[in-house]
Structure 1
């Protein structure tokens, strides 16, 4: 079951969510950015953080590209080692829970559709502000938004993976895209 964002009072409802290890892509939805902006305000209200430290990333931030129906949010912090229980508690107030995901230079939080924690709708990727990972992730988003050929190539890679795999999993999907992503990151250095 997908999470529905919005209500029945005339607001547009978008469907977000993936189960653990599920890989599925859906057509671009112009409401993804509005959802990001709503969540950005929520994050700012509980963390008292400048808006320039909260960015929309991932495929839902790339215009007119199919994507997994999950909103990825980049959160720039001064020191990853100082993400404390207070910050975790404040993010829980708006539905984000720290995941036990081991990633270099990144702490990941997720929002779920309900208390069963089966379907994720949003990720917060906390990284060091304006350091390499921060810069690469924003560059990737901006580069694909500005370069139609690479944007189409990225969409094709994702679709090729799903066509080739009867039982896709998130780690294989991510690995399948890695070479392309690194190629785009390398363009930042020139």
Structure 2
């Protein structure tokens, strides 16, 4: 059975408490490597179109610190490694319904100061601070929503879109 996908305008305030609660749970994992975190994605930006999935960027000093031991502890919290072709980060989804493969939280674990880490931060910054880029991304989501059922095709188009934005805004201040 495929995951039920729907997008709507989101109010970021309704997700903030859930984000903070989840961070507290992750911080409480025994012997979890130290990390910083940021709420990213649609649930972090008011009036953004998206699914009701909280995206969390976890930044560690060394990506290899998240080894099998840490993965098992994340599994115990309901997180499962998400199959992807992304390099430089590991993603986990917190599954709420295994029958439908529905999830409500997605972790992106990246190594500090890598290009992928900087790109996550910079794209999130652009969405929050550049109205044109925000609107362009909202339009991209509307125009390509029908592809979400074929997530590989959607992800490929989304990644191309984001890469163009990141490369096109080289003059913007990177944080």
Q: Give the match for residue 61 of structure 2.
A: 78
TM-score, with length taken from structure 1 = 0.76
* Residues 22 and 170, structure 1, Cα contact 8 Å, conserved in 2: no
Structure 1 residue 92: Cα displacement:
2.5
* Residues 72 and 124, structure 1, Cα contact 8 Å, conserved in 2: yes
* Residues 110 and 117, structure 2, Cα contact 8 Å, conserved in 1: yes
Structure 1 residue 134: Cα displacement:
0.9
Q: Relative to 1, partners in 2 of residues 1:105 and 1:117: Cα closer, same or farther, differing over 3 Å? A: farther
| Structural RMSD (CA) | 2.4
Q: Give the match for residue 167 of structure 2.
A: 186
Gaps of 5+ in 2: none
How many aligned positions are there? 168
Q: Give the match for residue 153 of structure 2.
A: 172
Structure 1 residue 115: Cα displacement:
5.4
Q: Give the match for residue 104 of structure 1.
A: 87
* Residues 139 and 188, structure 1, Cα contact 8 Å, conserved in 2: no
* Residues 75 and 126, structure 1, Cα contact 8 Å, conserved in 2: yes
* Residues 9 and 49, structure 2, Cα contact 8 Å, conserved in 1: yes
Residue of 3, 12, 28 corresponding to 2:10: 28
Distance in 1 between residues matched to 2:74 and 2:123, nearest whole Å? 26
Structure 1 residue 23: Cα displacement:
4.0
* Residues 148 and 154, structure 2, Cα contact 8 Å, conserved in 1: no
Q: SS of 1:124's equivalent?
A: strand
Residue of 48, 52, 69 corresponding to 2:52: 69
Question: C-alpha offsets along residues 44-63 of structure 1, whole Å, 9 cap, x if unaligned?
Answer: 1112634xx11111222222
Distance in 2 between residues matched to 1:100 and 1:152, nearest whole Å? 29
Distance in 2 between residues matched to 1:111 and 1:20, nearest whole Å? 16
